[in-house]
Amino acid sequence: MLQIDLSKCTRCQSCARNCSVLEMEESGPVEKYPENCNECGHCVAICPVGAIAHENMDMNDFQDVADPGISFEQFVQLARNRRSMRRFTKEPVSREDIDKILETVRYIPTAENAQELEYLVITDPARMTMIRGAIVKYFKMLRNLVSRLYFIVKIQMGKRSAKRARSGLNLLLQRHETRNDPAEDLFMYGAPALLIIHAPKKVARGATSFAVTDAGIASYYVMLACESLGIGTCWCGFHVRFANMFKSFHDISLVPKGHDILASILMGHPASKYKRNVYRRPVKAEIIDH
């Protein structure tokens, strides 16, 4: 898989120190353990003279590392500015911005460089209406189930959490049923786009799979990318939960058969503008330095 130009090699050993496939010999690096290669590209990227190529990768896509010009303070500001948006305008998310977001998640880290995640972006208004209607349907079903089996819910969740869950379900549906504006959307907030992260069940549920973790990482890449583009985001947990529980809802969402939905993110232009950034409680942390 590796092509090593020994005439260029300076024997600096950088590649062998950072790759489990290569070992350094007197003549230069040797591909000793090709079965260990997960195509991470470290060997190509770290060689100072470009002496290594990988046959499964586009060498033209390896660009020189460049300083993005972002200070730590700027990054923190970006992270603090992002918050879950629950009011969107009707303005669609442009195809140009969607392409930028999808290009961004191409570079997320995945465990063992598995790159197992797949992405689906829905912007079709009719399809979004169908998904919204399905969420309302299954939300009502969940409320009725919690009401009928509340004694079991209390045992499973504890009295306080069960009471809060039941109250929340009832309140949201009550607001939905008594809203003055039929177009008001309390479940998907009128978002014009939905980004779904999914993976094959055999991957997502594999004993050694980190697909769920990878999807969480990808989700935050998406959210920060959107923030930089002036696009608001909100995690759509209802969609993830119901689509994985009910086949009909899974089909409506157009996710391939045999795939689990790992994350769903609402995207759109914010209809509200916050004047102050997000507050979070101080982090609970411990540093062991001796």
Digit-coded pLDDT (tens) for 106-150? 999 999 999 999 999 999 999 999 999 999 998 888 888 888 888
Q: Look at residue 46 in the predicted model and tell me its pLDDT.
A: 95
Question: What fold, for 2-61?
Answer: Alpha-Beta Plaits (3.30.70)
Average pLDDT over the chain reads: 92
- 114 three-state secondary structure: coil
The CATH classification number of 72-126+186-268 equals 3.40.109.10
Q: Look at residue 210 in the predicted model and tell me its pLDDT.
A: 92
Q: Look at residue 178 in the predicted model and tell me its pLDDT.
A: 85
Q: Which pairs from 287-290 meet CB under 8 Å and 24+ separation?
A: none
Fold match between domain 2-61 and domain 72-126+186-268: no
Listed in sequence order, the DSSP H helices in 82-205 are 95-105, 125-148, 150-157, 159-178, 201-204
Q: Look at residue 208 in the predicted model and tell me its pLDDT.
A: 66
Q: Where are the domains of the chain?
A: 2-61, 72-126+186-268, 130-178
Q: Which residues of the chain are under the pLDDT cut of 70?
A: 207-208
How far apart are the C-alpha atoms of 32 and 28, rounded to whole Å?
12
In one-letter notation, the amino acid at residue 145 is L
Which pTM does this prediction carry?
Answer: 0.89
How far from 262 is each of 149, 203, 287, CA to CA, in Å? Answer: 28, 11, 32
E strand intervals along the chain:
2-4, 22-25, 28-31, 52-54, 118-122, 193-200, 232-235, 259-268
